[in-house]
């Protein structure tokens, strides 16, 4: 089999989405819309996004022997992702129950299920797939010791999306290039490190905040940082040769009419990884990631919303 350039190690979930008109109070029962079941999980979403923009991508993870597992396998394969490292285990496929109120706010409950079986032992068995990949992509919906094992063994570039927010061992943070986080994840990591004072995002001119937050994150140890700021874009901070921080680079978001921002970050990370594996600079890779995420927010769904390169170019013309 041809070596994949991008290997995503992570979670695969079925997203069960329910529209509700208000959130139920304790003890209350409400009626919801028909349930809509779509492929999700940060890892699978990122792999699908990477596959759709044309990367040679493999996904390593676990699902159950059930319809949700088959849905996920089909979604990965449909995006051109090599899913031979997607193991079927004796646990239900991970499930996210997502309720959405008319104001667009969502509440999410995640049952990890099969994702708990993405263990260091399983990943050791798949070492030939990830250890020498140009880019390995990690998030935090699988056991932390598995994230740590891959971070320690990867010889390629490690893209670490520290989501959902969780404490990170220093040795995992140290190899992240980049660490990709949104504002709330950034604040969590800084609070953990006792460095959050004054780190809330400023609303200055030019870059709409985030510069100091991103620089403080770099001081926690990663090799580079991308802080995503939703409709305000993202901020990149890289290391200078002396180990300090280069001046932050702000990449504004593309202006679009957002319909559903679920999965924007995952589309962003998937596209980013593909461009980095092709040898692009961090800024060039973020340009593509920004365009891909912008198309994704114009459509509903977490991974079903992720566009192909042709669709991105149809909306914005050629991107880097």
**Residues lying near ligand ADP in the complex (CB under 6 A):** 182, 228-231, 233-234, 253-254, 256, 258, 261, 264-265, 268, 290, 293-294, 297
Q: At closest approach, how far in Å is the CB of 226 from ligand ADP?
A: 8
Q: Specify whether 266 is catalytic.
A: yes
| 138 neighbors 147 (Cβ within 8 angstroms) | yes
Nearer to ligand ADP, 59 or 268 (CB): 268
Nearer to ligand ADP, 122 or 253 (CB): 253
Q: At closest approach, how far in Å is the CB of 63 from ligand ADP?
A: 23
The helix (run of H) or strand (run of E) holding residue 185 is helix 183-192
Transcribe 122-180 into DSSP letters.
Answer: HHHHTHHHHTT-SEEEE-SSS-HHHHHHHHHH--SEEEEE--S-----HHHHTTEEEEE
Cα(25)–Cα(223) distance, integer angstroms: 45
Where do we find the tokens 């460095």?
Answer: 195
The helix (run of H) or strand (run of E) holding residue 48 is helix 42-52
Which residues belong to the annotated binding site? 13-15, 41-45, 141, 182, 228-233, 260, 262, 265-266, 296, 299, 301, 305
Q: At closest approach, how far in Å is the CB of 172 from ligand ADP?
A: 19
Nearer to ligand ADP, 98 or 293 (CB): 293
Q: At closest approach, how far in Å is the CB of 10 from ligand ADP?
A: 14
Report how far Cα 243 is from the mean position of its chain's Cα atoms: 27
Closest CA to 271 of 76, 137, 77: 137
Q: Which of 82, 177, 211, 266 is catalytic?
A: 266
The helix (run of H) or strand (run of E) holding residue 8 is strand 6-9
Which residues belong to the annotated binding site for substrate? 13-15, 41-45, 141, 266
| Coil, strand or helix at 13 | strand
Nearest residue to the partner ligand ADP, using Cβ: 265
Nearer to ligand ADP, 46 or 99 (CB): 46
Which residues belong to the annotated binding site for ATP? 182, 228-233, 265-266
Q: At closest approach, how far in Å is the CB of 297 from ligand ADP?
A: 5
Cα(105)–Cα(102) distance, integer angstroms: 7
Nearer to ligand ADP, 83 or 296 (CB): 296
Cα(37)–Cα(40) distance, integer angstroms: 9
Which residues belong to the annotated binding site for K(+)? 260, 262, 296, 299, 301, 305
User: Residue 269 — φ and ψ, nearest 5°?
Assistant: -65, -40
- Catalytic residue positions? 266
């Amino acid at each position: 089999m041809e070596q994949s350039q991008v290997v995503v190690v992570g979670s695969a979930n079925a997203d069960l989405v329910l529209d509700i008109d208000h959130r139920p109070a304790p003890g209350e029962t409400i009626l919801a819309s028909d349930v809509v079941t779509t492929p999700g999980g940060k890892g699978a979403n990122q792999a699908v996004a990477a596959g759709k923009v044309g990367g040679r991508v493999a996904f390593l993870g676990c699902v159950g022997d059930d319809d949700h597992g088959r849905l996920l396998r089909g979604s990965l394969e449909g995006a051109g992702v090599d899913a031979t490292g997607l193991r079927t285990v004796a646990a239900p496929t991970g499930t996210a129950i997502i309720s959405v109120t008319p104001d667009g706010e969502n509440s999410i409950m995640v049952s990890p299920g099969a994702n708990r079986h993405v263990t260091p032992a399983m990943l050791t068995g798949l070492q030939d797939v990830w250890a020498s990949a140009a880019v390995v992509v990690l998030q935090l919906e699988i056991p932390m010791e598995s994230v740590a094992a891959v971070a320690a063994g990867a010889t390629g570039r490690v893209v670490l999306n520290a989501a959902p927010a969780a404490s990170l061992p220093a040795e995992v943070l140290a190899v992240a290039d980049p660490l990709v986080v949104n504002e709330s994840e950034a604040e969590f990591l800084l609070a953990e490190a006792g460095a959050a004072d004054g780190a809330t995002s400023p609303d200055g001119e030019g870059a709409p905040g985030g510069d100091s937050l991103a620089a403080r994150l770099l001081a926690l140890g990663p090799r580079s940082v991308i802080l995503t700021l939703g409709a305000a874009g993202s901020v990149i901070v890289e290391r200078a040769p002396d180990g300090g921080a280069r001046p932050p680079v702000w990449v504004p978001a593309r202006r679009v009419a957002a319909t559903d921002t679920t999965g924007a970050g995952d589309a962003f990370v998937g596209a980013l990884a593909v461009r980095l594996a092709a040898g692009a600079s961090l800024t060039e890779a973020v340009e593509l990631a920004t365009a891909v995420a912008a198309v994704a927010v114009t459509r509903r769904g977490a991974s079903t919303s992720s566009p192909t390169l042709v669709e991105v170019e149809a909306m914005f013309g050629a991107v880097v």
